[in-house]
Amino acid sequence: MPKRSNRTLPLVPLNLELEKVVRANRREKRAIASGATSSELRVVVESDHSSSSESSGDTIPLESPRTNSPTSPPIRQFDMAQPNKTLRELGGGFSEGFRAGTLGVLSRLFADYSDIKPLPATELKPRDFEALLSYVNSTKHPKANIHKSESFYDNSAPVVVEFSSRGPNVIAPDILKPDITAPGVEILAAYSPLGSVSDYNGDKRSVNYSTLSGTSMSCPHVAGASVYVKSLHPDWSPSAIKSAMMTTARSMSPTKNKDAEFAYGSGHVDPVKAANPGLVYETNQDEYVTFFCRLGYNKRQIALITGSDSFSCPKKSNKSSLPNDVNYPSLSAMVDVGTPFNIKFSRTVTNVGVANSTYTVKVESPKKIKITVNPSTLSFTSLNEKKSFEVTVVGKGLSRKSNSTISASLVWYDGQHSVRSPIVVYSIYKDL
């Protein structure tokens, strides 16, 4: 996962272009913004004996940039010539400001999430930062007002956060990953009081709760949803619960997430709908064993996973075989660049909704491919009854110029339940 308030789900290095560290005398609430070149950042470390009047209210006066002089305290410097390094690797930015005893930091660094800093800090988009810097340099007494926070409805949510891992699946290219998206950004969570509230050396603050981001936050949401579904259906298998969450997930927008299903999988988890999915795709151990065989694992390797060697791989299993027939809630296949394809997926669903029910299939796909489902109607007369169907995806080939992906969806609908599965066909372009 992931979207400020609702935005979803390991952290990656952030590109750093330029930072301004503003140091304010705590007593006088005065801040000094130093001059900076493209290759270095200078932080003014003033004494606490500035002779200026107190500022009032929420207005913080800033002084114009000044340079070092024989009578000024030493200026701390750190190298900014490596923009692809993280702040922690450079040892500068927020850490430098914190070590220098600054009151706050203004940073030309913007991410779509926030984290805990060791001191008051504001991260600005480059354009906003340049506007602020231009204003600071335009007057002898620049001022900034801090207004009361306001809540608002974020129409862009949910959006998968930039640091969330993306597909495709490098081990099993024909199994779509990720499976699902869940809240994982700025989550209020329990926190060990023995650890620092931030990742910065010298920050000795201790808290019992903090706001955290990452897959370590989205995973507990999914785990909780799984337990909730299990409490309502104690006889359901793990694969049935997984299917229920995937096929009832809320669809997400590819226009807001350029990596589409490789960013959000089946969509955003909806625990309430997952409790009543209508149909589920159950996967048993034998299917997974065959799946491992088709990935090229030998009997000894598979036995390490299953704990038993009482099985045999199909004679025709090899690495080139596509594991499309794993009874997975999503349908995905990697195809050769520029080569026409005809892919078949076999699936079986189990009725867990209404005993007497009939489901009709609905397919949404772009004109580049043709998708047929046989049969197109599934009729059930009892609970736990199983029905099988086959999906065929035909296309003329994907782009030879770059990585290309085609997204579609398959929905089984009985008038009450919508059982949705994403369909993804993609190619990876290799410039030889």
What is the distance of C-alpha 308 from the center of its chain?
A: 36
The answer to whether residue 63 scores a pLDDT higher than 60 is: no
The structure tokens listed for 217 are 């936050």
Cβ pair 191, 278 in contact under 8 A: no
One-character DSSP codes across 176-218: -S---B-B-SSEEEE--TTS-SSSSTT-----SEEEE-SHHHH
- Pairwise pLDDT comparison (28 vs 387), residue with the higher score: 387
d(CA 182, CA 171): 23
Using one digit for the tens of pLDDT, what is the confidence trace for 373-391? 999 999 999 999 999 999 9
Tokens representing 338 are 């520029």
Instruction: Look up the pTM and report it.
Output: 0.74
Element (H, E) at 88: helix 87-90
Per-residue confidence band for 151, with pLDDT thresholds at 50, 70 and 90: confident
Number of other residues whose CB lies within 10 A of the CB of residue 369: 18
Percent of the chain whose predicted confidence (pLDDT) is above 90: 43
Q: Which of 318, 311, 265 is nearest to 287 (CA)?
A: 311
Record the tokens describing residue 303, joined without a space: 């036995």
pLDDT at residue 322, as a whole number: 53
| Per-residue model confidence (pLDDT) at position 149 | 84
Q: Confidence band (pLDDT; 50, 70, 90) for 62?
A: very low
**Residues 6+ positions from 180 with CB-CB distance below 8 Å:** 222, 245, 246, 249, 264, 265, 266, 267, 268, 269
Is residue 184 included in any domain, yes or no? Answer: no
Radius of gyration from C-alpha coordinates of the chain: 28
Structure tokens at 326: 């794993």
pLDDT band at 133 (very low <50, low <70, confident <90, very high): confident
In a domain, 432, yes or no: no
Residue whose C-alpha is closest to residue 250's, from 227, 282, 273: 273
Q: What is the token pair recorded at 113?
A: 């999430």
Lowest mean pLDDT among 9-13, 143-147, 383-387: 9-13
The tens digit of pLDDT for each residue in 182-236 reads 999 999 999 999 988 988 888 999 999 999 999 889 999 999 999 999 999 999 9
In a domain, 352, yes or no: yes
Question: Are the beta carbons of 200 and 95 closer than 8 angstroms?
Answer: yes
Give the domain CATH number at 407. Answer: 2.60.40.2310
Using an 8 Å Cβ cutoff, are 277 and 248 in contact?
A: yes
Tell me, what's the pLDDT at 359? 98
- Which is more confident, 267 or 289? 267
- Find all residues with CB under 8 Å of 67, minimum gap 6, and list them: 34, 35
**Mean pLDDT of the region 388-413:** 89
As a whole number, mean pLDDT of residues 17-25 equals 29
What value does the mean pLDDT of the chain take?
A: 77
Q: How far apart are CA 175 and CA 421, in angstroms?
A: 13
The span from the CA of 236 to the CA of 321, in Å, is 31
Q: Is residue 76 part of a domain?
A: yes
Q: Is residue 79 part of a domain?
A: yes
Q: What angle do CA 24, 30, 36 make, to 5 degrees?
A: 60
Task: For residue 310, tell me if it sits in a domain.
Answer: no
Pick the closest to residue 164 from 213, 224, 223, 210 (CA basis): 213
pLDDT for 90-123, tens place per residue?
Answer: 333 788 888 888 888 888 776 778 888 898 888 8
Give the whole-angstrom CA distance, residue 182 versus residue 223. Answer: 10
pLDDT, one tens digit per residue, over 309-359 is 888 887 765 444 455 678 999 999 999 888 999 999 999 999 999 999 999
Share of the chain above pLDDT 70, in %: 75
Query: How far is residue 421 from each of residues 167, 256, 276, 365, measured CA to CA in Å?
Result: 17, 20, 16, 12
Residue 263 within any structural domain of the chain = no
Higher pLDDT, 125 or 353: 353
- Quick check: 184 and 217 in contact, CB under 8 A? yes
Domain that holds residue 356: 327-427
Does a structural domain hold residue 228? no
| pLDDT for res 80 | 33
Query: 78 pLDDT band (50/70/90 cuts)?
Result: very low
8 Å CB contact between 22 and 136: no
Whether pLDDT at 68 is above 70: no
Q: How many residues does the chain have?
A: 432
Contacts of 220 (CB under 8 A, 6+ apart): none
Q: Is residue 168 reached through a cis peptide bond, with omega within 30 degrees of 0 on the bond before it?
A: yes
Residue 33 has pLDDT above 60, yes or no: no
Q: Which of 405, 410, 406 is nearest to 422 (CA)?
A: 410
DSSP code, position 310: -
Residue 391 has what DSSP assignment? Answer: E
- Which class for 203: exposed (0-12), middle (13-18), buried (19 or more C-beta within 10 A)? middle
Q: What is the mean pLDDT of residues 406-417?
A: 96
* Total domains present in the chain: 2
